[in-house]
Amino acid sequence: MLPLVPVQPKNIEHYRGVAGDEVIDEILRLAEGLKGARVAHINSTAHGGGVAELLYTLVPLMSSVGLQAEWHIMNGDPDFFTITKLFHNALQGMDIPVTSEMKMKYLSVCGENASDCGQDYDFVIVHDPQPCALFAAMKDRAIRRGKWIWRCHIDSTFAQDDAWEFLVPYINLYDGAVFTMQSFVKSQLEVPCLAFIPPSIDPLSAKNIIPEKRVQSDIARRYGVDETRPIMLQVSRFDPWKDPLGLVDCYREVKRNHRDLQLVYCASMADDDPEGWHYYEKTFNYADGDPDIFLLSNQQGVGNVEVSAFQAMADVVLQKSLREGFGLTVTEAMWKRKPVVAGAVGGILLQVDDGVNGFLIDDIGEAAEKVSMLLDSPATAQRMGEAGHDKVRRNFLSTRHLLDYLRFFHILLRN
């Protein structure tokens, strides 16, 4: 069997207060018809990045409503993850040649994983390109009893043709596919069932509960950040699409008029992202020893509580992404009533309403202008933060996400 990721149990009833009776009752009604269904999620890492973050909540919530949900991770060596990161980048629009060696290695690792993959499920959700071809490699694919779903989390708006054309025949074998937005779907996709489901955050997780003021102050002190001075924050992997150098440029521009500004960048190094260290080094060199730039990561003990504390202490949160499937970090910050200044790309267009709960920006100059404006006008920042919190409550909590999956399971069974 593929390695199983242990998850802490969760209780759907605990979410009534935050999500409302109507949503919980509808979840329980739909779950009734799916009682005992065996569900497997398969992805490529248990640590770092948005997919792992989602599964730590979605899997136990599915179990809490009577399904038997499990989470497995695929096996792969460093060469495989280097190749899948290149696929990821090509699917987000980078001009990268997809060579036959890359394809062969990818298919061979997916084939090895297929032979370790159990068959006895009612629903299998395969996340992102890394394990996508695993289903094609299953020997008894034609006689299995469950429904297989491919879940795309990346921003494929500008997918490079070679990469998409390589992958699409493998996607088309699935019973269904889930994308965050319609604009992520490319030509030649012919899965029988398609759904558009945005991701979500868990309002009850350590990441989204605001630590007490005293804990926040301790955390600021531990990392040398002065909480009495303005903080501009980005929480992201070190990745070209998160534009860490553009973020530093933006900070420098704002700092011209806000001399006491600090930039905090919290990053987590994901197991399936071999580019992390390379981009960390680039950003570190670019920061050029500026004592007001703090590049922090899970390697220095920045975990859920620390991220939450920095989100709570920040005056403005940035997400200077150039592509983004859906920035969980954007939603996490909005939940903490922070205005977010974010790249007008991909899933961020669903998350941020320009001028209402944050600002959508196209370049560094625009980002700097909006950050300055928010620093100069705390009342505007507060009003936008409240609007953001309300938007997340209505649209982007785990309960809505679970409901969407249950609806999709019913549709697949009807088909």
- Give me the residues that bind ligand UDP (CB under 6 A), please: 49-50, 53, 207, 235, 237, 266-268, 297-298, 302, 304, 307, 326-329, 332
Q: Minimum CB separation from ligand UDP for residue 1, in Å?
A: 26
| Residue number, 130 or 297, with CB nearest to ligand UDP | 297
| Residue number, 235 or 261, with CB nearest to ligand UDP | 235
Q: Minimum CB separation from ligand UDP for residue 31, in Å?
A: 25
| Residue number, 110 or 302, with CB nearest to ligand UDP | 302
Q: Minimum CB separation from ligand UDP for residue 140, in Å?
A: 33
* Cα angle 359, 377, 231; round to 5: 75
Which residue is closest to ligand UDP by CB? 50
What is the spatial order of strands in the sheet that 358-361 belongs to?
Answer: 293-297, 262-267, 231-235, 316-319, 340-343, 358-361
How far is it, in rounded angstroms, from Cα 372 to Cα 200? 29
How far is it, in rounded angstroms, from Cα 235 to Cα 302? 11
How far is it, in rounded angstroms, from Cα 386 to Cα 365? 26
| Residue number, 304 or 395, with CB nearest to ligand UDP | 304
Is the CB of residue 61 less than 8 Å from the CB of residue 12?
A: yes
Q: Minimum CB separation from ligand UDP for residue 332, in Å?
A: 5
Q: CB neighbours (10 Å) of residue 78?
A: 8
| Residue number, 153 or 258, with CB nearest to ligand UDP | 153
Q: Minimum CB separation from ligand UDP for residue 321, in Å?
A: 8
**Residue-wise over 87-122: b if at least 16 C-beta within 10 A, else e?**
bbbbbbbbebebeeebbebbbebbeebbeebeeebb
Q: Minimum CB separation from ligand UDP for residue 326, in Å?
A: 6
CA torsion angle 268 272 275 276 (round to 10)? 10
Is the CB of residue 338 less than 8 Å from the CB of residue 314?
A: yes
| Residue number, 84 or 372, with CB nearest to ligand UDP | 84
